[in-house]
Amino acid sequence: RSMDTGSMWLADGRKIVPSTWRGQQGDNIVKCHPDFRAVFLANRPGFPFLGNDFFSVMGDLLSCHAIDNPDFHSELALLQKYGSDVSRDLLERLIRSFGELREMSDSGTF
């Protein structure tokens, strides 16, 4: 919840602050570059994807963009790079299964 204040705590205790920060200084304060950008990824809200309604939580703070899932062949190429030791058959079955889940979620049949 710290992004709405313009700062963010890191797990090691350091605090990331805007480049214009005039508050506390020290080794635990990290000033952002003025062109710093953050990218957040979120699952679809609700079952079965178990994501939050990202826009309702962060929409007034961030510029939110919905990006479609990749097409079958692009998703296969991504998964083959990530799981190079996983059989093509299994990857294709996973892609079809998640595609079916997405379709059911979109159509309201889930």
Which amino acid is residue 26, in one-letter code?
G
Q: What is the DSSP letter of 60?
A: T
Write phi, then psi, for 9 (nearest 5 degrees): -85, 135
Q: What is the pLDDT of residue 61?
A: 65
Q: What is the pLDDT of residue 1?
A: 44
Peptide bond preceding 18: is omega within 30 degrees of 0, i.e. cis? no
H/E stretch holding 30 reads strand 29-31
Does 74 have pLDDT greater than 80?
Answer: yes
* pLDDT tens by residue, 50-73: 667 777 766 666 777 778 889 999
Does 48 have pLDDT greater than 90?
Answer: no
Average pLDDT over residues 29-51: 77
